[in-house]
Chains A and B, each alone.
Chain A
Amino acid sequence: MKTTRTLATVAMLAAATGLVACSSDDGGSDASNCTNTITKQDLPVVTMWAWYPNMQLVVDNFNKANDEVQVCWTNVGQGGDHYDKFQTAISAGTGAPDVVMVEMDRIPTFQIQNALVDISGYGLDAVRANYGDGAWKDVSVGDAVYGVPVDGGPLAMIYRKDIFDKYDITPPTTWAEYEQAAQKVKDAGGPLFGDLGANVPALMMALQIQKGAAPFTYDPAQPESIGVRLNDQASKDVLDYWGGLVRKGLVGTQDQFTPEYISGVINGNYATYISAAWAPGYLTGAGVGQGEDTGTFAVAPLPQWDANNPVQVNWGGSAFSVSSQSKQPELAAKAAYGLYADQESLTDGWTNQIIFPLNLTALNDPEFIDLEVEFFDGQQANKEVYVPAANAYQGVVYSPFGQYYFDAMTKQISEMSAGSITGAQAADRLQDDVTKHATEQGFTVQ
């Protein structure tokens, strides 16, 4: 009896130890947990995290066409959740996938932690001509290339034609006109004109850059020093402008990408939506623009501060990078270069407005340029709005602590929306907060 008991105890201990061992010994993310089905079982497999809505199709297309490597894809979350997981895997030194989707504004954050592989040595020349110089610039640090560009996010103003017609408004071309139009709709008892979501700080950053703000100056050759200018006049002006719209009750303060916001968009609670070229795809996926709402949306260029000197900006836009934890960087780079670069995937992406392609095959494709976009009721949105905006985009210097900056910005926008501080105060607080963080992280702030 005693022996049996001892044996049972030993067995339990062994089982417990076994559990611990299982969870710790597999390096890299697990290749047996793919969302897609890999049919070519005998080929080497690289793992991948990405959240494009049509990623399943993109991966299948790649796997079908490729006889060297197969991609095992998982969607670990969109935006913040995805980055939290990738960041944790980096810190842990294990668990990251081979290929990872990274928005351009996050590349310096991961690059400075040596989390990404310079893929210029793995066949860059073969694909260099497929993307514009600007696109390569956004994914490069010096001569090193840390990602393959996939999509861009030129900003524009999406609006409801039915609301504009009802209140007799033409699309505003300047921010002053935007406010006047908003006031007009409000005075006539109409809905909110737009929305300032505290959870989309990258949009606010883009709008500040449009007025001439340059939040960060950062030279990767001198990684220990960084310039932080978050409270210059342009930054303050833009925050004050939106704070004013909120105070006057012209725009809402709902967090975006939430069910609440989407239902508001469907109900026609917002006359405009300042957003990027990929937004219609996400809205369509969430059920916007269907049923009664079919054909109510249109798009116009982003309002300007100075109509004579228009400035175009970008929100989001992503690349495929190879993680430094990859044990097969060459194969991973092949996947990064090849994914979302085939005609079929690109066409699916841009016909559904999931991506605004940076691949020149698609960008210069007359069919893409002349596309009569269904979501915008047949409007040639690319030709009229998005392509010119993308062509005029100058590029931005992003910070190596993007997550902290965005969190801090969310906090300040929220306080500003609640009316407890002005836009200028929000900018000052943000400057103090981020400067302090940069100093703590060992940077010399200039």
Chain B
Amino acid sequence: MTSITEKRAPRTHHDKRKTRGTIQRREHLTGWLFVGPFGVVFLAFLIAPLGYALYLSLFQKKLIGGTSFVLFDNYVKAFTDPSFLSGAWFVIRFALVAIPVQIGVALAMALILDAVTSLFTRFSRLMIFLPYAIPTVIGAVMWGFLYSKSFGPLTDVFGFFGATAPDFLSNNLIFYGLLNIVTWQWAGYYMIILYAALQGIDPTLYEAARMDGAGRWQVARRIKIPLIAPALILILVFSLIGTLQFFNEPQILRYLAAGTIGSDFTPNMYAYQQAFGLANFNYGSAISFALGGVVFICVYAFLFFTRKRRSFL
């Protein structure tokens, strides 16, 4: 407040330049003070660790021979390392399937909740959102038990029809086991974002559409979806980044199925294993940055192809 009053007062002074200088300096200082707390945290907990990891990734530490500077050797190794490549290929495949499924489910639910108004809507909205409120770790543990052949309901359900229950923690089905967990966890969250965007649409548009003879389905397809396209793209980017950095769920399920989910199952897990299991912080950092590169390329490509529709960036 003080600065505003001060800003107006000096105009009466004759030595304008000098005063303006002081004020600008003071305003700068105030600005920096506002940015300061965030800036310090940002530098200390994001930029500095990133810089340090980048620095680490340029070295190689051997059990015999010690540490040496190798420039980009670790990156060359990463992009020829079958463990990293198969992990990266897995998350890309997973993203190609999981993202459309999650967003499809979220969009369908959001459209239904937007179109139907009853007491039940609020309850459903909360219930659909609930899985997101459950911590990932607990969600993964819970699903681990639901998939269990001994404790889980699957054996009973399939046994009732005389069939053998599928083992979602086996080599063949782990993809679908994880797909189910991720969709369960995130679809509700995406639904809330889409629902909020739908609520923001001006209702007069619907009225106009109805006057023109549009049915509910046409309203949804021709008006609602195009108008929430920016929100759709936003959650697509969120889920793309999240899926490529897949870590929590497989890492937790590894305690139940270490054979199926190897330590190099996803690139993030591989980086974790290299750094904390094998004490190879250098290579772990390089993998992290290599993964960062993959994420950047994927997101950039996505934004490039959708550039006409986005409005949030």
Contact = CB atoms under 8 A, between A and B. Distances in A.
A235 B276 CA distance: 29
Contacts of A113: 63, 279
Nearest to A264: B150
Interface stretch (B104-112, B158-166, B251-259): B251-259
Contact of B44 (A5, A20, A223, A441): A20
B22 interface: no
A230 to B, nearest CB: 18
Interface string A403-417: 110010011011101
B44 A16 contact: yes
Interface stretch (A38-46, A179-187, A251-259, A287-295): A251-259
The 8 closest A-B CB pairs, nearest first, are A198-B259, A442-B64, A414-B259, A442-B62, A199-B258, A442-B65, A418-B171, A263-B150
25 contacts: A6-B33, A9-B33, A13-B37, A16-B40, A16-B44, A20-B44, A80-B277, A87-B277, A87-B279, A113-B63, A199-B258, A223-B64, A255-B256, A255-B257, A259-B256, A260-B151, A264-B150, A267-B150, A404-B278, A407-B263, A410-B259, A414-B258, A441-B62, A442-B62, A442-B63
Interface residues of B, number: 38
A130 B208 CA distance: 93
Contacts of A87: 276-279
A411 B262 contact: yes
Contact of A259 (B36, B63, B151, B273): B151
Contact of A410 (B33, B62, B258): B258
Contacts of B40: 13, 16
B44 A197 contact: no
A35 interface: no
Interface string A395-406: 000001101100
B279 A258 contact: no
Contacts of A112: 63
A12 interface: yes
A443 B279 contact: no
Contacts of B2: 1-2
Contacts of B125: none
Given A87-B277, A414-B258, 13 more contacts: A16-B40, A20-B44, A87-B276, A88-B279, A91-B279, A198-B258, A253-B259, A258-B257, A259-B256, A260-B150, A400-B63, A410-B258, A411-B262
Contacts of A199: 258-259
B281 interface: yes
A90 interface: yes
A440 interface: yes
B259 A197 contact: yes
A440 B30 CA distance: 53
A55 to B, nearest CB: 21
Nearest to B264: A411
Interface string B241-263: 00000000000000111111011
Contacts of A6: 33
A443 B62 CA distance: 9
Nearest to B255: A258
Taking chain B's interface residues, is the majority helix, strand, or loop, or is none over half, making it mixed?
A: loop
B136 interface: no
A84 interface: yes
B199 to A, nearest CB: 36
B148 A260 contact: yes
Query: In terms of DSSP, what is the predominant structure of the interface of chain A?
Result: helix
Interface of A: 1-2, 5-6, 9, 12-13, 16, 20, 80, 83-84, 87-88, 90-91, 112-113, 197-199, 223-224, 253, 255, 258-260, 263-264, 267, 400-401, 403-404, 407, 410-411, 413-415, 417-418, 420, 440-443
A9 B258 contact: no
A26 B242 CA distance: 35
A87 B151 CA distance: 35
B41 interface: yes
Given A400-B63, A443-B64, A407 B277 contact: yes
A258 B256 contact: yes
Interface of B: 1-3, 30, 33, 36-37, 40-41, 44, 62-65, 145, 148-151, 170-172, 255-260, 262-264, 273, 275-279, 281
B306 to A, nearest CB: 38
Contact of A441 (B36, B64, B145, B255): B64
A198 B171 CA distance: 12
Contact of B259 (A1, A403, A417): A417
Contacts of A91: 279, 281
Given A414-B259, A418-B171, A443 B150 contact: no
Contacts of B65: 442
A12 B37 contact: yes
Contacts of B145: 259
A329 B64 CA distance: 26
A259 B148 contact: yes
B218 to A, nearest CB: 49
Contacts of B277: 80, 83-84, 87, 403, 407
A34 B148 CA distance: 35
Nearest to A269: B150
A316 to B, nearest CB: 17
Contacts of B3: 2
A263 B30 CA distance: 64
A255 B276 contact: no
A83 B279 CA distance: 10
A9 B40 CA distance: 11
Given A198-B258, A260-B149, A417-B259, A401 B63 contact: yes
A5 to B, nearest CB: 7
B95 to A, nearest CB: 23
A90 B64 contact: no
Contacts of A12: 37
A4 to B, nearest CB: 11
Given A9-B33, A87-B279, A113-B63, A414 B256 contact: no
A441 B171 CA distance: 31
Contact of A9 (B36, B260, B281): B36
A202 to B, nearest CB: 13
B273 A13 contact: no
A393 B281 CA distance: 37
B3 to A, nearest CB: 8
B121 to A, nearest CB: 39
